[in-house]
Amino acid sequence: MAPPSELVRRKVAEAINRGRELYHRATEARRRGFRDLAEKGFDDTVTFCGEAIRIDPSHAPAYLLRAQAYEQLGDDDRAQDDLTKIDQLEGDSE
């Protein structure tokens, strides 16, 4: 059995790697949403940004992009909900 300090180091490294993987997946989903927003694929933008948010609920750029898509779709209530969530996330980081 590995000494506790080695075990802790290994677990920390695994957690960091998992966090990086999740961040990368969330960023990639947001990028697909941004591409679709530019191409006026607003429904797809909502889908991809929703995926990014599911992967990383603190990924504020995905909320902003999704709010823009909702606005283009005429769903002002959902757009406002996402903007409110951004404010909450920014408040948590202060």
Token readout for 70 is: 């909702």
Instruction: Quote the pLDDT of residue 31.
Output: 82
Instruction: Quote the pLDDT of residue 84.
Output: 96
Instruction: Quote the pLDDT of residue 42.
Output: 86
Q: Which residues of the chain have pLDDT under 70?
A: 1-4, 93-94
Instruction: Quote the pLDDT of residue 93.
Output: 62
Instruction: Quote the pLDDT of residue 1.
Output: 56
Could you tell me the pTM of the whole model? 0.67
Instruction: Quote the pLDDT of residue 3.
Output: 62
Instruction: Quote the pLDDT of residue 89.
Output: 92
| Domains of the chain, first to last | 14-93 (1.25.40.10)
Ramachandran quadrant class, 40 (left: phi over 0; alpha: psi -120 to 50; beta: rest): left
Instruction: Quote the pLDDT of residue 2.
Output: 56
Q: Output the DSSP codes for 17-80.
A: HHHHHHHHHHHHHHHHHHHHHHTT-HHHHHHHHHHHHHH-TT-HHHHHHHHHHHHHTT-HHHHH
